Structure 1
């Protein structure tokens, strides 16, 4: 078992042990946020032949005249609507705003520059057959679905979502909304984990609180291995008297590492039981958030075919100097705001100095890197946004 593993080594070890999920074909309308399993191309051209760019009349360009009063509807001109095809006998469209029809006679409301073929979208002007739409591994969103629909893909092959079971543990834990008694604490990690796991591309399965009892935990893990593709045990990862979760994983399977070079939440662990990944995620809220971000998120993305995290990154100027550990990675909350000039400014928050609530309220976060220089006031740094600014 490796102790004090680095971020890169931990993720590489996971990828060495497990392969991405299989594929499934689903309707396009159900594919939002899914990861594309194939590179897709447009099946046909749009327009299929040609189409009018606007509402107007279609005419024969060679017959254009400044006095069309003698023209006959259906022979010399017809109506043309935006986006619609029209008869091959006609090749040019004149905007309806320039057309006057009185007493059955056609005339122009004003002079305009005329060119044969004007205001007509030709075959494939919107999209051509075999145009590359999206690469395999693309994460689908609203505009991606519109693009695939334009390419006439009613169904898409996507990576299956892994089912991830989250097991909160601790005899002190009670559910949200429970009146606290002495020695009790709220399970605040389950609602956070549910949202993050969905964001990462998984199907979260939240288990009820498991008390600090070895037999109860064994039973919960055995059940979770049947229901899920990955299991997260929340809590019991350190060296306290009731922190026996690691010993149970050693009994049930193979533990690959314990303790990591990324805090808070350094006593995380990864094991393999019945050929499925089982993680211990530390119990303190900001440590849980950190491990979910740097470890669990990348592992889920790997299983779903998406290697890169989906953060909105911005650069902001640091308002105050900050001290943080330099011998391992460390998570800092980042509160980003705009000044009157529209520039982005940021305060970095440590859970030890500023408290967990302020860190959880922050609209972004930053990871320090081992060996980096301390953050100084005025530095421009890159921030991962969690909320719009």
Structure 2
């Protein structure tokens, strides 16, 4: 591998846009019972099979009546029956009459309003309404939430817990979803050893594969763990061909720099195509993206923090797109620095921080050593402090932009993404 980059260094926004443009979403589908569809991506739009609610009903416990009979300061009405959820009152409500009704109970014929029971009192079989009642008061019209034939969810949406309830209410007993992406992952490096085995001088435990396993598991993809591959071109080529043959995407860590033992890019160029391999971000500048046959390839750096940062900023959006959805752009928010930051300008940087709140709003504290090999900074953090490339020095109290680790990832829009120069 020469010392010259295969392509110009790209801004993060450019790299992300090009990755997304190069992803062809999975087309294979399967039909699942609704109860098994949580977290899956819809392959077809879903429409409501019924009106929701199916009948005009009460929004609270009270009495169904004709609003024309309750126009005065107080009104006396005769109680003629009950309407409970699932057990409607059979018959109309006439002048001067009312029906006791529970939340969700069907509004009886003739009634056009409900008065909550706290605004009434009982006198034998009569109900005294203690204030005027307007037409439509405390009722939920039929079809207020969904109407029969109305689109409920579009294709490409990842089904959330709230979606499950809405799909069920609209009568969707089963849904068509895209197949889950199959993703192979492995670490490269002669120095890596399995956790639980003794270490010899110069050896370290393979932590990156555990981070990748967790990050991929959160996305709900099918995993193929290929372990640790030594820094040997033949072994790397054999493993890469196997991974590409069995999976839709391959994610590796290590071997994408320009050292003499960094063979991943050479191997990738011999069996596939390299899209780009340098991104103007810190940590995580050396990064390979390409394709081997029909499989996407993501070659991440070897430093532990760089693996997590590059996965979250670049690989995760691409895998969301591969799954058939669109990723959400990173959600950022302002916060005040709790301590000063001094750095060398030059690249967009993702420092690790911890958020807090006081009477003036959000604050963020940088977490000690920000080196790309200090994984503890990721473990203790709950956000990235996003520092522009030209930022050099910040004082305590200065405003910065932060990206919380916990934020929406799925169900974005194609309009959210464009390549920025």
Name the TM-score, length of structure 1 as normaliser: 0.82
Q: Is it true that 1:85 corresponds to 2:102 in the alignment?
A: no
Q: Deviations over 1:306-345 (max 9, x none)?
A: 4434655332101233233432222211222234x36321
Which residue matches 2:182?
163
Q: Is it true that 1:66 corresponds to 2:76 in the alignment?
A: yes
CA distance change for structure 1 residues 101 and 176 in 2, over 3 Å: closer, same or farther? Answer: farther
Q: CA deviation at 1:201?
A: 5.5
Structure 1 unaligned spans of 5+: none
Which residue matches 1:11?
16
* Superposition CA RMSD, Å: 3.5
Query: Given the alignment, which residue of 56, 71, 87 partners 1:50?
Result: 56
CA distance change for structure 1 residues 41 and 362 in 2, over 3 Å: closer, same or farther? Answer: same
Structure 2 unaligned spans of 5+: 1-5, 83-89, 92-96, 408-421
Preserved contact between residue 188 and residue 253 of structure 2 (Cα < 8 Å): yes
Q: CA deviation at 1:34?
A: 3.7
Q: Deviations over 1:155-177 (max 9, x none)?
A: 34444432111111222212233
Which residue matches 1:361?
380
Q: CA deviation at 1:5?
A: 3.6
Which residue matches 1:385?
404
* Aligned counterparts of 1:233 and 1:131: Cα–Cα separation in 2: 44
Preserved contact between residue 311 and residue 386 of structure 1 (Cα < 8 Å): no
Preserved contact between residue 65 and residue 111 of structure 2 (Cα < 8 Å): yes
Preserved contact between residue 201 and residue 304 of structure 1 (Cα < 8 Å): no
CA distance change for structure 1 residues 199 and 68 in 2, over 3 Å: closer, same or farther? Answer: same
Preserved contact between residue 333 and residue 360 of structure 1 (Cα < 8 Å): no
Preserved contact between residue 78 and residue 98 of structure 2 (Cα < 8 Å): no
Query: Given the alignment, which residue of 235, 238, 247 partners 1:228?
Result: 247
Q: CA deviation at 1:229?
A: 0.4
CA distance change for structure 1 residues 83 and 235 in 2, over 3 Å: closer, same or farther? Answer: same
Preserved contact between residue 53 and residue 121 of structure 1 (Cα < 8 Å): yes
Q: Is it true that 1:347 corresponds to 2:365 in the alignment?
A: yes
Query: Given the alignment, which residue of 21, 25, 28 partners 1:20?
Result: 25
Which residue matches 1:31?
37
Which residue matches 1:208?
227
* Aligned counterparts of 1:331 and 1:163: Cα–Cα separation in 2: 29
Count residues in correspondence: 383
Alignment of 1:175-324 (within 5 A): 175-200=194-219, 202-309=221-328, 311=330, 313-324=332-343
* Aligned counterparts of 2:179 and 2:394: Cα–Cα separation in 1: 41
* SS of equivalent residue, structure 1 residue 351: coil
* Aligned counterparts of 1:110 and 1:189: Cα–Cα separation in 2: 69
CA distance change for structure 1 residues 295 and 59 in 2, over 3 Å: closer, same or farther? Answer: closer
Q: CA deviation at 1:185?
A: 0.8
Comparing 171-180 with 231-240, which one deviates more in the overlay?
Answer: 171-180
Which residue matches 1:146?
165
* SS of equivalent residue, structure 2 residue 19: helix
CA distance change for structure 1 residues 343 and 354 in 2, over 3 Å: closer, same or farther? Answer: farther
Query: Given the alignment, which residue of 368, 381, 390 partners 1:371?
Result: 390
Q: CA deviation at 1:83?
A: 1.2
Alignment of 1:126-145 (within 5 A): 126-129=145-148, 133-145=152-164
